[in-house]
Structure 1
Amino acid sequence: MTVPFVLLILGALAAAMAPRLLARAEWPEREPVLALWVWQCVVAAVLLCCVLAMALTASAAWAAVRGNVFAFAPRGVVDAYGLAEYGWWSGGMAIGLALCGLWTAAMLTREVRVARARRRQRRGELRTRAPRLPGEDVPAGERLVVLEDPRTDAWWLSGAEPQLVITTAALRRLKGRSLDAVLAHEQGHARARHDVLLHCSGALAGGFPQVPVFAAFRDQVHHLVELAADDTASRRFGRLTTALALVELNEERGVFGPGPAPLAALPGRVNRLLDGAPRLTVGRRLRVTVLALLAPAVPLLIAFGPGLHALT
């Protein structure tokens, strides 16, 4: 009878404590890809706790659900969970958790629809400002779009037909390896499918703004994906070249001035590239990876523990 409560308490502790622990750590700035992995494992653990608690309480409340959840389990396994002792509250808890799951799915659907509408709008603007030339037979998703614009900018437009867009001002300002570093940065976003992480984190934070781990997940994903893309570019073209490219691309926006700027994180990204802090050792990266895997593994062990014990 205590398994669902243990799962929910574990999920609540992870949701409250994980953001604080990761905020105090210094290594995520040095290993953004590993930090993204850790965040995903923590969020997966919180969601698993809720899903498993919902499955057990729904099994206790309704025989039809119990028959599906324990369809292939021996009789002794079902008895080990003591579902008959859960009481009247199990149905209410299962319904509440199911509603949270439906709300999460609705938020994710809304996030995807908004992203698709935004992409359609931007593609429409691109078609208007940079139309296909007569006789041009290169698929739209495979071409680099050069956009006439006085502002220096470059971005990756994701979707079914991804496009790399760069403005004429950026082409005039960036030369040689600096231009290659900016393009490598945007291609790093595309190869790692950072847009998927951004959509998922935005949906969770938008649906449950009171849950600290989801809000922190969204904020950290926005920050860490940029660091990861910076590292992709710096591995190919060097830290100094990538840092100079970021400065040249963004200095006209007032990012490096004394006042506040919309892209206030950019100076920190440039300083990080120039500092060149060494990566974690292979052994430490392996230990962090394994520890992160324990986060979603613990709820599974708690949920399946009584059944496994009954089989021994």
Structure 2
Amino acid sequence: MMVPAALLLLGALTAVLAPRLLARARWPGREPVVALWVWQCVVGAVLLCFGLSMLLSAAAAWQAVRGWLFASAPRGVVDAYALGPSGGPWAAGTALALAAGALWTGAMLTREVLRARARRRAQDSELLLRAPLLPGEDPVGARLVVLEGPRPDAWWLPGPAPRLVVTTAALGRLKGSQLDAVLAHEQSHTTARHDWLLHCSRALAGGFPQVPVFAAFEAEMHHLVELAADDSASRRYGRLTVALALVGLNEDRGAFGPGATPDAHVPQRVRRLLAAEPRLPATRRLRLTALAALLPAIPLLVAFVPGLSALA
């Protein structure tokens, strides 16, 4: 039972320490794409620790699971894990608790996906009601939909045929390439599949609200995907154009006035675009990416080292 316990301890330490270290770091705001990758590796490492611990705990508790898990392994490999004839109530309890967590995670992710599909269908129905198709118009080819509206707004509808929806007030407010910058921003969300990142983070945070790493994962995903999309649009149309587009779409919502609003993050994004901080050196970006990729490898190493040592 040493290896399952070590994996549990490693998963708990990663869940506690990684969010604190990332919160103190100053580079994620300059490299949101790298930060997104690091967060995914952190959460993946935590889930992998718990998943491997569940399998080995079940192998220690039940002979049937052990026979399935080590079916083709030599006897020395099984002995290297010191599972014993019976892992006792601790092994069974740990395996059952982790299995329940895995099932709950799957249920939360399924619920989130179903809710997203329901929201998408409702939005499509509302859009079709407000902007009906003209005779002979192809709904798949309509990438830009204009709605009558007194409030400047623009949003992206994901799905098999993604569409950018803008109001007439937004068309009157956005000048020059600002509308193209908004389109590029929203397109980057679809290209990078940011919706799936948001679904996964929301499911984990909703299913395990007391786990700090999952709550931080959700909060950072919402923040970082917007920064990444801002940078993608800026590379094509310039930081000033994207900043002006953000101001044009949000100044009537009170985002730049006193007091907290739901769009309080918008002024921070505008200031970041105007500050135009340089990117990290390519070598440091590569180093951060490689170090993050090693995080999920650590629980695999902990889980397989006893067996590999026995084969050596």
| Counterpart for residue 133 of structure 1 | 134
What 5-or-longer segments of structure 1 have no aligned partner?
A: none
CA pair 114-141 structure 1, distance change in 2 beyond 3 A = farther
Shift of 1:259: 2.5
| Counterpart for residue 40 of structure 2 | 40
- Deviation digits for residues 152-197 of structure 1, max 9, x if unmatched? 1111111233221111111111122111111111111111110000
Q: Secondary structure of 2:95's partner?
A: helix
Q: Which is further off, 230-239 or 81-90?
A: 81-90
Q: Is the 8 A contact 2:133 2:139 kept in 1?
A: no
Alignment of 1:86-105 (within 5 A): 86-105=87-106
Q: Is the 8 A contact 1:111 1:202 kept in 2?
A: yes
- Deviation digits for residues 192-233 of structure 1, max 9, x if unmatched? 110000000000000001100000000000000000000010
Q: Is the 8 A contact 1:76 1:310 kept in 2?
A: yes
Q: Secondary structure of 2:146's partner?
A: strand
CA distance in 2, matches of 1:260, 1:114: 28
Q: Is the 8 A contact 1:141 1:163 kept in 2?
A: no
What 5-or-longer segments of structure 2 have no aligned partner?
A: none
| Counterpart for residue 292 of structure 1 | 292
CA distance in 2, matches of 1:147, 1:43: 40
Q: Which is further off, 297-306 or 146-155?
A: 146-155
CA distance in 2, matches of 1:214, 1:112: 18
| Counterpart for residue 158 of structure 1 | 158
CA distance in 2, matches of 1:101, 1:214: 14
- Deviation digits for residues 240-278 of structure 1, max 9, x if unmatched? 111111111111111111222210000000000000001
| Counterpart for residue 257 of structure 1 | 257
Which amino acid is 2:81 matched to?
A: Y
| Counterpart for residue 267 of structure 1 | 267
Shift of 1:20: 0.8
Q: Which is further off, 214-223 or 53-62?
A: 53-62
CA distance in 2, matches of 1:210, 1:228: 28
Which amino acid is 1:15 matched to?
A: A
CA RMSD across the alignment = 1.1
Indicate the percent of aligned positions where both proteins have the same amino acid.
Answer: 70
Matched, 1:19 2:23: no
Shift of 1:142: 4.6
| Counterpart for residue 124 of structure 2 | 123
| Counterpart for residue 192 of structure 1 | 192
| Counterpart for residue 145 of structure 2 | 145
Q: Secondary structure of 1:28's partner?
A: coil
Q: Which is further off, 62-71 or 40-49?
A: 62-71
Which amino acid is 2:274 matched to?
A: L
Alignment of 1:153-302 (within 5 A): 153-302=153-302
Which amino acid is 2:110 matched to?
A: T
| Counterpart for residue 81 of structure 1 | 81
Deviating runs (4+, > 4 A) in structure 1?
Answer: none
Shift of 1:139: 3.5
CA distance in 2, matches of 1:71, 1:164: 53
TM-score by length of 1: 0.97
Q: Is the 8 A contact 2:255 2:261 kept in 1?
A: yes
- How many positions carry a matched residue from both structures? 311
